[in-house]
Amino acid sequence: MLTVNESAEQTLNIQQLQRQQRTLKGLMNQLSRSHLIKKHQHAQRLLKPLRVVNPYADKLSFTYGQTRNRRDHEKYLTLIDAIALLHQHQREIKRLERNDEVIEYIEVVPDDIELANKLTQHVLIRSMDELPPQTRQLLNDITKQLEKQSTDDGVDVLDCQFTQKQVRQWVSLGNTQLREHLKRLVNYEYITCKQVSRYGCLEYQLLDYGETLPVSILSSVPPENVSL
pLDDT value of residue 134: 84
Contact 195, 138 (CB under 8 A): no
CA-CA distance, 26 to 222, in Å (whole number)?
A: 46
For 103-122, how does the pLDDT look when each residue is reduced to its tens digit (9 = 90+)?
Answer: 999 999 999 999 999 888 77
Contact 102, 46 (CB under 8 A): no
Extract the residue ranges of the chain whose pLDDT is less than 50. Answer: 212-217, 219-228
Show me where the domains of the chain are located: 12-46, 48-128, 133-206
Residues 6+ apart with CB under 8 A from 168: 175, 178
Beta-strand runs (E) in 49-124: 51-53, 94-98, 101-107
**Domain 133-206 is of which CATH architecture?**
Orthogonal Bundle (1.10)
For 26-70, how does the pLDDT look when each residue is reduced to its tens digit (9 = 90+)?
Answer: 999 988 998 999 999 999 999 999 999 999 999 998 888 777 788
Residues 6+ apart with CB under 8 A from 54: 77, 80, 81, 84, 107, 108
